[in-house]
């Protein structure tokens, strides 16, 4: 009788130890898969610098025309980026021929020079709002074009080679307004 109870206690203890592990595994699966993200892509700049005349272009399609989406511009920078702000020109081209062109300003560092964004080490990734609750009304191919519009204070000409921008990307997520 004592041996049977001891084995039963061990089995019960093993099951109790497995429960937290199982819960952790399930939580990781649920929270690591971001089901809101529909499209995402990055392009690497030339040797960690973004030339003034270089337009980074992304194309995407197959979006539900009845849903609302949020678009983000993703930028990775390293320590050689010398500015607190980033100025971008974004152009979204619709299959119908319509174009939305925006000049955007994003804060990349706090006034004391501390980088914003996520990441450890020398690279920081910034997820920057571009469009909120946008509807893609027609099926077809959409094009997002991004270029930088950086200038030094008081200068007319733009920064020829924007050092410190290592990657430029975009992300489309389903809006919670759906």
Residue identified by tokens 């990055």 is 42
As for how many domains the chain has, the answer is: 2
The predicted pLDDT at position 27 comes to: 44
What domain range includes position 106? Answer: 36-174
The predicted pLDDT at position 29 comes to: 47
Structure-block tokens of residue 118: 């996520």
Asked whether residue 29 falls in the same domain as residue 42, the answer is: no
Mean pLDDT of the chain: 86
Strand order in the sheet with 56-60: 56-60, 142-148, 85-93, 99-107
Position 19 pLDDT exceeds 70: no
Asked whether residue 61 falls in the same domain as residue 104, the answer is: yes
Cβ atoms of 171 and 71 closer than 8 Å: yes
Asked whether residue 11 falls in the same domain as residue 42, the answer is: no
Q: Any bridge partners for residue 144, and if so which?
A: 58, 92
pTM tops 0.75: yes
Structure-block tokens of residue 155: 């200068």
User: Which CATH number belongs to the domain containing residue 161 in this structure?
Assistant: 2.60.120
């Amino acid at each position: 009788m004592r041996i049977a109870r001891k084995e039963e206690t061990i089995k019960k203890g093993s099951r109790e130890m497995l429960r937290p592990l199982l819960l952790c595994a399930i939580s990781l699966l649920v929270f690591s898969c971001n089901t809101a993200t529909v499209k995402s892509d990055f392009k690497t700049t030339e040797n960690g610098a973004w030339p003034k005349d270089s337009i980074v272009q992304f194309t995407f399609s197959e979006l539900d025309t009845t849903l609302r989406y949020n678009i983000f511009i993703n930028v990775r920078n390293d320590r050689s980026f010398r500015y607190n702000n980033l100025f971008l020109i974004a152009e979204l081209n619709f299959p119908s021929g319509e174009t939305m062109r925006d000049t955007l300003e994003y804060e990349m560092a706090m006034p004391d020079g501390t980088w914003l964004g996520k990441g450890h080490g020398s690279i920081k990734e910034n997820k920057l709002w571009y469009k909120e609750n946008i509807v893609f009304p027609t099926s077809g191919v959409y094009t997002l074009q991004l270029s930088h519009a950086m200038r030094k204070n008081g200068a007319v000409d733009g920064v020829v080679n924007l050092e410190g921008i290592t990657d430029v990307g975009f992300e489309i997520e389903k809006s919670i307004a759906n």
